[in-house]
Amino acid sequence: MKIFRTGILLILLSVLLVVAGDALAGPAGMKIALAFAVVMNAVSYFFSDKIALKTSGAQPVTREQLPRLYAVMERLAAKASLPVPKLYVIPEEAPNAFATGRNPQHASVAVTQGLLELMNDEELEGVIAHELSHVRNYDILTTSIAATIAGAITYLAHMAQWGMIFGGYGGDRDDEREGGGFAAIAMMILAPFAALMLQLFLSRTREYSADETGARMVGQPYGLISALQKLGAYNQRIPTTALAPTTAALCIVKPLIGGGGWASLFSTHPPLEDRIAALRQMTIVPQS
């Protein structure tokens, strides 16, 4: 069901791109915007892991330095039939973690020093299973596709705005279709907003999916539930100093960077209480 819902969202984004392209700049404009967005997001897709790790100050760690973290990661990776990702630690008091990388063969998992100090073994296992689930579910690929389409829509809107400013928009096109100018202006405003909402909904869906897959990977949801409760409490009062807003979207819980009120509406993360409630309702059959 989750795969089906994700597919529907990607299709809706694609349809929105086609409609926006026709309304704002015609088929030629749509093709240019799509090509531009694909190039931008291809660069992001191949180098976003290095950017995220560099900007967060993550440092690679060896098995000798953190045998506890490696033991949990190697056990879960073997259970999920995944290569062991590269492991990093961020010198940050606020507890958090994120996974990055374009596929399981190029994956990295970073945890903060605060998370390692706060979590017991069961909770750490739940967090690592959640991050491995993002790798296993190819969430980086899914979000990259969504970002490509949303980026193309936004670029189209900007291109149309500049066209109107410099007088390159309207004229024959408006004469051919009554109300075309009004429709284009409405599309300039609504299309990027609709693309953002669909993209955020997709991101939230991936978090629920990673929670569920991680709990099944471990065999029970209680470690992840306890970890999410701790992460929510501590990240409400310990502001992060290492994670940029773009990296924060990758984290297991939303870090305290700033903003509130309307900011929660545009959050890439669903409410923690909803995630915990979904985990409590799970039924996991023990393996014999």
| 212 assigned to active site | no
Q: Please tell me what DSSP assigns to residue 165.
A: H
The three-state secondary structure class of 236 is coil
Cα–chain center distance at 198? 12
The three-state secondary structure class of 117 is helix
Q: Which of 131, 207, 212, 273 is catalytic?
A: 131
What's the confidence (pLDDT) of residue 260?
47
As a whole number of angstroms, the distance between CA 261 and CA 151 comes to 26
> In degrees rounded to 5, what are phi and psi of residue 134?
-60, -40
Q: Please tell me what DSSP assigns to residue 96.
A: -
As a whole number of angstroms, the distance between CA 127 and CA 133 comes to 10
Residue 287 contacts by C-beta under 8 Å, 6 or more apart in sequence? 219
- State which amino acid sits at residue 93: E
Q: Where do the domains of the chain lie?
A: 2-280
Strand stretches in the chain, DSSP E: 59-60, 86-90, 97-100, 108-112
pTM of the shown model: 0.75
Strands 86-90 and 108-112: parallel
What's the confidence (pLDDT) of residue 179?
46
Burial class (CB within 10 angstroms; exposed 0-12, middle 13-18, buried 19+) of 280: exposed
Half-sphere exposure in the Cβ direction for 282 (13 Å, CA): 26
As a whole number of angstroms, the distance between CA 238 and CA 100 comes to 23
Is residue 87 within 8 A of residue 109, CB to CB? The reply is yes
pLDDT in tens, the chain (288 residues): 555 555 665 566 666 666 666 665 667 766 766 676 667 667 767 887 888 898 899 999 999 999 999 999 999 999 999 999 999 999 999 999 999 888 899 999 999 999 999 999 999 999 999 999 999 988 876 766 666 666 666 666 666 666 655 555 444 444 444 445 555 566 666 666 666 666 676 777 889 999 999 999 999 999 999 999 999 999 888 888 777 766 777 889 988 865 444 444 456 688 999 999 999 999 776 654
Q: What is the DSSP string of 49-92?
A: HHHHHHHTT-EE--TTT-HHHHHHHHHHHHHTT-PPPEEEEE--
As a whole number of angstroms, the distance between CA 178 and CA 197 comes to 29
What's the confidence (pLDDT) of residue 261?
46
Is residue 191 within 8 A of residue 20, CB to CB? The reply is yes
Q: Please tell me what DSSP assigns to residue 285.
A: P
